[in-house]
């Protein structure tokens, strides 16, 4: 039981990363019917931007100009990096996706993949092949809850990602912009006639998705403080799986599926040898998709390919 | 421009071009090394001088001159002079049964490639890998282009073929790590090698059932995920098989994937895929892509069509994988991952969807570009993606999309305009 609970805690943390990244995929998908395959690499860029921002803030704090406690640095890092990374997302949309909005969907997928490769290589060219380690901003405190070890970092990661997912849900449900997004997801052709600025909304969607990916990147840096330029690839593709599993454009679905993927991976590793993790986790996903081909919350509509 | 470059060569038949190229490479074989020395290059430029130009900008004029003197000038002169005999020969050839002119053209092409590659081992390797890339790209185009699905499982099929063929050849002919003692002599190997490849292809087809059967119920993005999950599963399965040494990879494949073998298999692959996509099943594939329901109403058996396409494409991917393993003589599960997928997808979409020409062009240009830009090191991976993005923006379906490869038309002599009228 203790082992189970311990793994549950780990799975919650692991699932938070997937959930946050999957949200970005899901948002873009619901509105433009496109997958942003550069998203995993935006997660990586967000993580590096977070690294840069936090180093800058630490230098500022230690120079004595502004007195800042470490937790404030972390909060500011998250906010600043989310803001900066959202511009990366908007650039990706402008360069790779807007010119291709009427093209076959697969072509846009290819530009996305290629932008991802450019981001990875660009990072490698700028910073070199060495890995950087994320500064440790908060002290790890371990709480022992009747045998289950919970660290303050884990609690923070899960709470922050749930808060962000909840905020996004509220944004999509309650605001005018959110309403415009839902309308675009419903019918992309009619919405411009109703006076909704489609291009602005698409850019905004990419910005929001990228900001969430940046948050995930920083949280990842807090938990596993080694960053390398290729860390986004596997995370990106796995979160893509989670986004599909959640169903088209469902904030709830993507969050839930992200956590589910985290749970599957962690619990498979708990029961079986950890090298079998991918094998069993993806077999389970294959089974789920065979039974429910449109994910948990997606309605069975026919995805007509614009080829 | 048109007057000087297009018009003089507008009547050159394919036979003439092949003859010109053959003469050019033969010339390089005879006079390449002394000419390179005379121009101040240390050795014969391996890949049309690109590598030299990028490494030492000072040598750009000599490299360009070398390419002009060795390749461009002889080809141009020979093709221009041979217009009339080549046309007469082509006209005579096309009257014979189809197999003969095709064999003559392929023989010339092979001779040119062979002489070109003989100069260095590096050229042989590049050529083999390029031919294999052509096979993989074509087979992916069957699914992504002709059938219009976004399948991500091709590296998985390749991995299955590569591992099966390797286990077969290594186990039966090389050492006792799989089936006890070696019980077949090495000399028998090259004859049984095709069997290993074909069985590997069949196994890949069998694996493709895992993607083909879900494709009855779902399309598009969900099928993309299913195929992606398949890729992860295959890779992870191989990593966990201690039998094939898991993530450490399998080495010691015999050196049977020689240039003629790879060339023959590639020709076979192009031929069969070209016939496949021009057959009724191929046309049914296009119908399923454009509107599955309407295709069903027009008596197309959509399930059968889909399953045949998947199995067929997976077969060729498996064969290509087997060849790949024997060219490199080492396989490793991580070779067949997301990176390989991105590479193959890039080749398909760069060259053009729904087109055999396009796949050949895409595979050849991306693999040669990858080799030619090697001196740029990592910046290569900025230039190639940028190029691909530009192609996607200006020609979203690829360079040569939706074009049939009509072999009969290709072999025809080019008549004078007045003769046609």
User: What are B300-316's pLDDT values in tens digits?
Assistant: 898 999 999 999 999 99
Minimal CA separation from A57 to chain B, in Å: 31
Alpha carbons B338 and B340: distance in angstroms, whole number: 5
Query: With 50 as the cut, is the pLDDT of residue B343 above it?
Result: yes
Domain count, chain A: 1
Quote the mean pLDDT of chain A.
86
For the residues B199-218, what does the mean pLDDT come to?
Answer: 89
Whether residue A120 and residue B381 make contact (CB cut-off 8 A), yes or no, is yes
Residue A170 and residue A29 in contact, taking contact as beta carbons nearer than 8 Å = no
Whether residue B233 and residue A109 make contact (CB cut-off 8 A), yes or no, is no
Residue ranges of A 231-290 with Cβ closer than 8 A to chain B: 233-234, 237, 240-241, 244-245, 273, 275-279, 282-283, 285-286, 289-290
pLDDT band at B176 (very low <50, low <70, confident <90, very high): low
Q: Does A35 map to a domain?
A: yes
Alpha carbons A307 and B6: distance in angstroms, whole number: 33
Query: With 60 as the cut, is the pLDDT of residue A303 above it?
Result: no
Query: With 70 as the cut, is the pLDDT of residue A300 above it?
Result: no
Task: Name the residue in chain B with its Cα closest to that of A282.
Answer: B229
Task: Name the residue in chain A with its Cα closest to that of B217.
Answer: A293
Task: Name the residue in chain A with its Cα closest to that of B238.
Answer: A279
Whether residue B239 and residue A114 make contact (CB cut-off 8 A), yes or no, is no
Out of A276, A282, A304, name the one closest to residue B232 (CB).
A282
Q: What is the pLDDT of residue B62?
A: 83
pLDDT band at A184 (very low <50, low <70, confident <90, very high): confident
* Residues whose CB falls within 8 Å of the CB of residue B54, separated by 6 or more in sequence, listed in order: B372, B373, B375, B376
Is the CB of residue A118 less than 8 Å away from at least one CB of chain B? Answer: yes
Chain B contact residues (CB < 8 Å to A): 144, 148, 150, 210, 214, 217-222, 224-226, 228-230, 232-233, 235-237, 239-240, 246, 289-290, 338, 342, 345-346, 349, 353, 378-379, 381-382, 385-386, 388-389, 392-393, 396-397
Q: Which of B143, B288, B382 to mutate to test the interface with A (most CBs of A within 10 A)?
A: B382
Query: With 50 as the cut, is the pLDDT of residue A307 above it?
Result: no
Alpha carbons B25 and B108: distance in angstroms, whole number: 12
Residue B128 and residue B120 in contact, taking contact as beta carbons nearer than 8 Å = no
Whether residue A106 and residue B150 make contact (CB cut-off 8 A), yes or no, is yes
Query: With 90 as the cut, is the pLDDT of residue A1 above it?
Result: no
Is the CB of residue A159 less than 8 Å away from at least one CB of chain B? Answer: no
Alpha carbons B187 and B171: distance in angstroms, whole number: 15
Out of B144, B228, B342, name the one closest to residue A106 (CB).
B144
Minimal CA separation from A295 to chain B, in Å: 8
Whether residue A278 and residue B232 make contact (CB cut-off 8 A), yes or no, is yes
Cα–Cα distances (Å) from B306 to A175, B200, B232, B283, in that order, read 44, 21, 22, 12
Out of A115, A289, A307, name the one closest to residue B226 (CB).
A289
Residue B254 and residue B326 in contact, taking contact as beta carbons nearer than 8 Å = yes
Q: Residue B287: CA atoms inside 13 Å, Cβ hemisphere, count?
A: 19
Residue predicted with more confidence, A172 or A66: A172
Query: With 70 as the cut, is the pLDDT of residue A301 above it?
Result: no
Query: With 90 as the cut, is the pLDDT of residue B380 above it?
Result: no
Whether residue B392 and residue A290 make contact (CB cut-off 8 A), yes or no, is no
pLDDT band at A158 (very low <50, low <70, confident <90, very high): very high
Residue B236 and residue A282 in contact, taking contact as beta carbons nearer than 8 Å = yes
Domain ranges of chain B: 2-118, 121-409
* pLDDT single digits (tens) B113-155: 999 998 888 999 999 999 999 999 999 999 999 998 888 899 9
Q: Does A220 map to a domain?
A: yes
Whether residue A294 and residue B148 make contact (CB cut-off 8 A), yes or no, is no
Whether residue B218 and residue A286 make contact (CB cut-off 8 A), yes or no, is no
Residue ranges of A 22-41 with Cβ closer than 8 A to chain B: 29, 35
- Residue B250's DSSP bridge partners are B331
* pLDDT single digits (tens) A229-256: 888 888 888 888 888 888 766 788 889 9
Whether residue B148 and residue A305 make contact (CB cut-off 8 A), yes or no, is yes
Which of these ranges, A266-275, B185-194, B254-263, B265-274, has the smallest mean pLDDT?
Answer: B185-194
Helices (H) and strands (E) counted in chain A, each on its own, are 10, 4
Task: Name the residue in chain A with its Cα closest to that of B237.
Answer: A279
* pLDDT single digits (tens) B239-279: 988 888 888 888 888 888 889 999 999 999 999 999 999 99
Token pair of B37 as six digits: 């020395």
The residue whose two tokens read 């057959």 is: B279
Q: What is the pLDDT of residue A242?
A: 87
Q: What is the torsional sign of CA B170, B171, B176, B181?
A: negative
Contacts of A272 in chain B (CB under 8 A): none
* pLDDT single digits (tens) B146-168: 998 888 899 999 999 999 999 88
Q: What is the pLDDT of residue A305?
A: 33
Q: How many CB atoms lie within 10 A of CB B37?
A: 12
Out of A96, A117, A303, name the one closest to residue B221 (CB).
A303
pTM score, whole prediction: 0.88
Which of these ranges, A76-90, B1-15, B282-296, has the smallest mean pLDDT?
Answer: B1-15
Q: Does A291 map to a domain?
A: no
Q: Which of B159, B292, B389 to mutate to test the interface with A (most CBs of A within 10 A)?
A: B389
Return the number of CB contacts < 8 Å for A and B. 139
Minimal CA separation from A34 to chain B, in Å: 9
- Residue A145's DSSP bridge partners are A148
Contacts of B210 in chain A (CB under 8 A): 286
Alpha helices, H only, B213-351: 220-240, 259-278, 280-290, 292-297, 302-328, 338-351
Going through A4-145 in order, the beta strands assigned E by DSSP cover 132-133, 142-145
Minimal CA separation from B385 to chain A, in Å: 5
Going through chain A in order, the beta strands assigned E by DSSP cover 132-133, 142-145, 148-151, 226-227
Task: Name the residue in chain B with its Cα closest to that of A242.
Answer: B225
Out of A96, A100, A307, name the one closest to residue B289 (CB).
A307
Helices (H) and strands (E) counted in chain B, each on its own, are 19, 2
For the residues B177-186, what does the mean pLDDT come to?
Answer: 69
Alpha carbons B14 and B109: distance in angstroms, whole number: 10
Query: With 80 as the cut, is the pLDDT of residue A63 above it?
Result: yes
Residue in A61, A17, A65 with CA at minimum distance from that of residue A39: A17
Q: What is the pLDDT of residue A205?
A: 92
The long-range contacts involving A115-118, CB below 8 angstroms and separated by at least 24 positions, are A115/A38, A115/A41, A115/B385, A115/B389, A116/A37, A116/A38, A116/A40, A116/A41, A116/A232, A116/A233, A116/A236, A117/B342, A117/B381, A117/B385, A118/B381, A118/B382, A118/B385, A118/B386
Alpha carbons A153 and A113: distance in angstroms, whole number: 32
* pLDDT single digits (tens) B77-114: 888 888 888 888 888 888 888 889 999 999 999 999 99
Quote the mean pLDDT of chain B.
87
Q: Does A129 map to a domain?
A: yes
Residue A64's domain comprises 17-245
ipTM above 0.90 for this complex: no
Contacts of B232 in chain A (CB under 8 A): 278-279, 282
Q: What is the pLDDT of residue B377?
A: 76
Q: What is the torsional sign of CA B255, B259, B262, B268?
A: negative
Whether residue B218 and residue A293 make contact (CB cut-off 8 A), yes or no, is yes
Alpha carbons A8 and A264: distance in angstroms, whole number: 10
Query: With 60 as the cut, is the pLDDT of residue B421 above it?
Result: no
Whether residue A244 and residue B150 make contact (CB cut-off 8 A), yes or no, is no
pLDDT band at A299 (very low <50, low <70, confident <90, very high): low
Q: Does A284 map to a domain?
A: no
Task: Name the residue in chain B with its Cα closest to that of A37.
Answer: B342
Task: Name the residue in chain B with its Cα closest to that of A284.
Answer: B229
B250-251 vs A226-227, strand pairing mode: unpaired
Third-level CATH fold of B121-409: ABC transporter involved in vitamin B12 uptake, BtuC (1.10.3470)
């Amino acid at each position: 039981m203790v082992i189970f609970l311990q793994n549950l805690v780990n799975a919650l943390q692991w699932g938070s990363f997937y959930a946050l990244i999957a949200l970005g995929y899901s948002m873009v998908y619901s509105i433009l019917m496109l997958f942003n395959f550069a998203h995993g690499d935006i997660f990586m860029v967000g993580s590096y931007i977070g690294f840069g921002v936090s180093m800058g803030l630490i230098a500022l704090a230690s120079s004595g100009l502004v007195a800042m406690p470490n937790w404030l640095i972390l909060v500011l890092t998250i906010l600043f990096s989310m803001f900066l990374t959202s511009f990366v997302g908007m650039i990706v949309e402008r360069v790779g996706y807007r010119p291709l909005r009427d093209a076959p969907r697969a072509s846009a997928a290819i530009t996305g993949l290629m932008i991802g490769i450019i981001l990875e290589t660009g990072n490698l060219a700028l910073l070199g092949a060495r890995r950087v380690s994320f500064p440790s901003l908060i002290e790890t405190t371990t709480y022992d809850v009747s045998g289950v070890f919970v660290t303050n970092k884990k609690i923070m990661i899960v709470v922050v990602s749930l808060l962000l997912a909840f905020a996004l849900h509220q944004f999509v449900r309650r605001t005018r912009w959110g309403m415009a997004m839902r309308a675009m997801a419903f019918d992309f052709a009619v919405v411009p006639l109703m006076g909704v600025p489609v291009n602005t909304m698409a850019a905004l969607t990419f910005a929001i998705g990228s900001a969430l990916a940046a948050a995930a990147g920083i949280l990842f840096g807090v938990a596993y403080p080694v960053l390398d330029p290729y860390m986004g690839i596997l995370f990106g593709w796995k979160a893509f799986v989670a986004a599909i599993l959640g169903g088209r454009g469902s904030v709830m679905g993507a969050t839930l599926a992200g956590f589910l993927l985290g749970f599957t991976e962690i619990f498979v590793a708990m029961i079986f040898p950890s090298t079998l993790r991918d094998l069993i986790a993806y077999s389970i996903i294959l089974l789920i998709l065979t039974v429910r081909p449109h994910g948990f919350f997606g309605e069975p509509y026919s995805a007509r390919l614009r080829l | 421009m048109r007057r000087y470059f297009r018009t003089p060569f507008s009547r050159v038949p394919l036979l003439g071009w092949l003859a010109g190229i053959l003469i050019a490479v033969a010339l390089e074989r005879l006079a390449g090394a002394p000419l390179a020395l005379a121009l101040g290059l240390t050795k014969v430029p391996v890949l049309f001088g690109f590598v030299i130009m990028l490494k030492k900008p000072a040598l750009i004029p000599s490299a360009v001159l070398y390419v002009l003197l060795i390749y461009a000038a002889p080809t141009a002169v020979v093709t221009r002079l041979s217009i009339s005999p080549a046309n007469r020969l082509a006209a005579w050839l096309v009257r014979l049964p189809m197999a003969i002119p095709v064999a003559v053209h392929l023989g010339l092409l092979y001779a040119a490639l062979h002489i070109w590659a003989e100069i260095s081992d590096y050229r042989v390797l590049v050529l083999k890998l390029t031919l294999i890339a052509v096979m993989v790209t074509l087979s992916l185009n069957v699914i992504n282009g002709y059938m219009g699905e976004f399948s991500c499982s091709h590296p998985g099929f390749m991995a299955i073929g590569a591992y099966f063929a390797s286990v077969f050849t290594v186990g039966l002919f090389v050492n006792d790590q799989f089936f006890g003692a070696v019980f077949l002599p090495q000399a028998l190997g090259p004859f049984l090698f095709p069997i290993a490849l074909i069985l590997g292809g069949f196994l890949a087809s069998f694996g493709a059932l895992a993607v083909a059967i879900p494709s009855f119920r779902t399309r598009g993005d969900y099928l993309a995920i299913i195929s992606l999950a398949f890729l992860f599963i295959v890779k992870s399965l191989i990593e966990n098989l201690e039998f094939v040494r898991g993530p450490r990879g399998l080495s010691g494949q015999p050196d049977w994937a020689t240039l003629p073998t790879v060339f023959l298999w590639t020709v076979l692959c192009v031929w069969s895929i070209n016939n496949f996509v021009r057959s009724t099943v191929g046309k049914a594939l296009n119908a399923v892509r454009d509107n599955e329901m309407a295709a069903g109403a027009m008596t197309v058996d959509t399930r059968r069509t889909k399953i045949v396409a998947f199995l067929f494409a997976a077969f060729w991917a498996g064969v290509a994988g087997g060849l790949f393993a024997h060219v490199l003589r080492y396989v490793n599960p991580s070779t067949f991952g997301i990176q390989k997928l991105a590479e193959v997808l890039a080749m398909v979409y760069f060259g053009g969807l729904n087109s055999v020409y396009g796949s050949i062009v895409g595979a050849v240009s991306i693999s040669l570009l990858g080799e030619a830009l090697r001196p740029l090191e990592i910046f290569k991976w900025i230039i190639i993606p940028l190029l691909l993005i530009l192609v996607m923006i200006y020609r979203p379906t690829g360079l040569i999309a939706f074009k049939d490869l009509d072999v009969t038309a290709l072999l025809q002599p080019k008549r004078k305009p007045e003769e046609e009228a």
